[in-house]
A and B are shown apart, each in its own frame.
Chain A
Amino acid sequence: MSLRGDAPADESVWPLVPAERRWGPWRLGVTLATAAAATWCYLIGESVGGYLGFGAGALALTAGCMIGMLLVLLAGGPLSVRFGIDSIAATKPQFGTRGWVIPAALQAVSIIGWNSLLIIFFAKSATQFAVALGLVSPEAVPRALVPALTLLACGVIFVALTRGATGVSAVSNILVAHVLVGLWMLYLIVTRRWPELIAAVPAVATPDRLWNYTTGVELGVATTLSWWPYVGAMIRMAPNGRSVVLPVMLGMGAPVPLLSLIGLAGVLVLKSSDPAQWLRTVGGPVYALVALGFVTAANFGTAIAGIYASTLGLRNFRALERRPWRVLLALTLAPVAFVGIAIPELFFAGFGNFLALIGVAFAPLCGIQIADYYVVRRRQVSLRAIYDDRPGSPYHFWHGVNLAAVVALGAGCAAYVLLLNPLTYQSSGPYRYLTASLPAALVAGVAHVLLSRLQRARHAA
């Protein structure tokens, strides 16, 4: 079945019909693993390594990542696997036929922001790679090289994604090798520096060991919750719920903590989470070269998946519904290219905090979606109503916005910030027992259920 007789279905937010959903578990798992593994893995490991040793850090981070992945899967997963729709379309039953712009904005800012960072990282790694290969003199790196590489990366992503989800999958089949390279790097540092690794003391650990441990779990949960924008666009390509569970939980949930151990081990033993630096110490310049190749490939694969999900999200805007796919790709890539070329250093310095604040919203968002599907609607969702935004349609609510979900989202974000300031890591209340993400999801979910019931009671009255 064609979409409009011209555009492929995977470049549209219209639901995919069963015949178009042909990705098997292996293909989905490879794509998700390639998307998940990037520079941020060893930044996450570095963060955990500040508070916990290797053993406790590995366990806390893995536990947190698997919990976060479960929440993401339960949030948007049911609607994506049942109807073949993306993450943003799946928010319309909760937020309304206009209110979906709130999660869409979160998705766009998060993906474009993070992918700008990744592409800048990519360009810098590629520059270092060129220096290491002797193609460029370290004393005379052309100033235009990083912007030129950023532009090149955007161009390659554009070309790859002209094939839609098929392009994401094709690139992932090649780049997935970097996950194995990452595991090899982990093997190297663990086997060669095991005694130091076990004896290493985390640099900024607090005297409260429970707080340190909870923070390790929280970092894992929060990290995987930020995959929410990516998951729907990918799992809708698979035929049913059964075929997505293991690829998501193991393909996306497991590589993040595993590869984060590279950063965790690096920061504990060699005081650097960047494998390109410590592999030179451990194995010499050839190993450093391999690490640089790893970083370059890893960021590239993630950026491709992210740009695809974000471009697909744009299709939900009526004005962009019928625009050519290449126009939407250009619209998504333009801010990324602008940041990478014009203001990379300013972006590095100032945008990280903003992204940390944005990330706070994903836990409440997941809580709302889970509560809405399993409690408020008891799995009864109308696909037709998701695409019917006329006044009076079931998900039109109040001027197209469901105030219950908006208030619940605010309540969840407030709960998170009250428990843990994401910028300073100052905590309060029961954070040390509960983390911040899990109570935030619970508060938002409960608020959504109560407010939805109140709305229904008033409507009935």
Chain B
Amino acid sequence: MAERDAPLPPALAERLAAAERDSADRDFDATSWAWMLILGALLPLVLIMAGWLLGAGPAT
């Protein structure tokens, strides 16, 4: 795995600059976080509790 000794190629540098510009705006926004929390945390919690109530939990 050779390392690059020379500076970045101009075409790559140009591409990096374009991709990095305003990149923070492309991160997950408030709506994204809301959906992630609903589908990835809240929904699983509800499903796990529902399964528990269905009798999957520990025997009493």
Interface residues of A (CB under 8 A from B): 1, 3-4, 14-18, 52, 55-56, 59-60, 62-64, 66-67, 69-71, 73-74, 77-78, 81-85, 97-98, 101, 207-210, 212-213, 216-217, 239-242, 245-246, 249-250, 253, 317-319, 379, 383-384, 387-391, 400
| Number of A-B residue pairs having CB atoms within 8 Å of each other in the complex | 153
Question: Complex: how many Å from CA A73 to CA B40?
Answer: 10
Question: Complex: how many Å from CA A95 to CA B39?
Answer: 30
Give the chain A neighbours of B32 by CB distance below 8 A: 241-242, 245
Question: Which DSSP category, helix, strand, loop or mixed, fits chain A's interface?
Answer: helix
Question: Complex: how many Å from CA A73 to CA B39?
Answer: 12
**Which one of A52, A74, A216, A384 has the highest number of Cβ atoms from chain B below 10 Å of its Cβ?**
A384
Whether B58 contacts A210 by the Cβ 8 Å rule is: yes
- Known contacts A82-B27, A383-B16; decide if A56 and B54 are in contact (CB<8 Å): yes
| Nearest Cβ on chain B to A339's Cβ, whole angstroms | 26
Question: Complex: how many Å from CA A3 to CA B5?
Answer: 21
Whether A379 contacts B24 by the Cβ 8 Å rule is: yes
Whether A242 contacts B29 by the Cβ 8 Å rule is: yes
Interface size on B, residues (CB 8 A): 43
- 23 residue pairs of the A-B complex, CB under 8 angstroms, read A3-B15, A4-B11, A15-B15, A17-B19, A18-B26, A63-B44, A64-B44, A66-B44, A70-B39, A70-B40, A70-B41, A81-B28, A208-B58, A213-B52, A216-B51, A217-B48, A241-B29, A242-B28, A245-B28, A249-B39, A383-B16, A384-B20, A387-B16
| Nearest Cβ on chain B to A202's Cβ, whole angstroms | 11
Interface residues of B (CB under 8 A from A): 1-5, 8, 11-16, 18-20, 23-29, 31-32, 35-36, 39-41, 43-45, 47-48, 50-52, 54-59
Whether A63 contacts B48 by the Cβ 8 Å rule is: yes
Give the chain A neighbours of B26 by CB distance below 8 A: 18, 81-82, 239-241
Whether A389 contacts B4 by the Cβ 8 Å rule is: yes
Whether B39 contacts A59 by the Cβ 8 Å rule is: no
Closest to A212 in B: B56
Give the chain A neighbours of B2 by CB distance below 8 A: 318-319
Question: Complex: how many Å from CA A60 to CA B47?
Answer: 7
Residue A241 contacts which of B3, B27, B47 (CB distance < 8 angstroms)?
B27
Whether A77 contacts B15 by the Cβ 8 Å rule is: no
| Nearest Cβ on chain B to A428's Cβ, whole angstroms | 18
Closest to A381 in B: B23
